[in-house]
Amino acid sequence: MNRNDIIIAEFRENDGTVTTGGFGRHLVLLHHCGRSTGIERITPLFALRQDPDTWMIVATKAGAPEHPAWFHNLLAHPEVTIETPDDGTVAVRAEQVTDSERDLAWAKFVEVSPIFAQYQAKTERTIPVVALRRRT
């Protein structure tokens, strides 16, 4: 079992609370489709709830020089679902945010956990911020 599988299992067994890595209730499980393979994947991601219908996530890949695969999958297939600690499974549409909306969201991530600033310092790319907005 890899680390993501362990986190997913803990999320589901504890109603969205994950003590592994100190995530608490700041995770969502992103169900996305591989842009090339079409295979459904599940990725646990640190998320900040912006409002009742929006969760923000960041494509850090721990400061790697390239974006994570899930980010490219969202660009290709933005209509996805997430499992949340408080709302269960939610249908959302992913949208990369830019400019001031991105900067404000990024600042909140850094405020909650300084590790995000360390990830940005490790890479030359601007780490993308994605809004997951509830579909109606």
How many helices (H) and strands (E) in the chain? 4, 6
Q: Is the dihedral of CA 23, 91, 71, 96 positive or negative?
A: negative
Which residues are paired to 15 by β-bridges? none
Alpha helices in the chain (DSSP H): 3-13, 69-76, 99-112, 115-121
Domain boundaries, the chain: 3-134
**Burial of residue 68, with CB atoms counted within 10 A of its CB: 0-12 exposed, 13-18 middle, 19 or more buried:** middle
Average pLDDT over residues 125-129: 98
Predicted local distance difference test score (pLDDT) of residue 53: 98
What integer best gives the mean pLDDT of the chain?
96
Q: 39 and 56 in contact (C-beta within 8 Å)?
A: no
Predicted local distance difference test score (pLDDT) of residue 136: 84
Residues 6+ apart with CB under 8 A from 103: none
Query: What does the pLDDT look like over 26-72, one tens digit per residue?
Result: 999 999 999 999 999 999 999 999 999 999 999 999 999 999 999 99
Domain 3-134: give its CATH code.
2.30.110.10
Alpha helices in 14-135 (DSSP H): 69-76, 99-112, 115-121
Q: 129 and 57 in contact (C-beta within 8 Å)?
A: yes
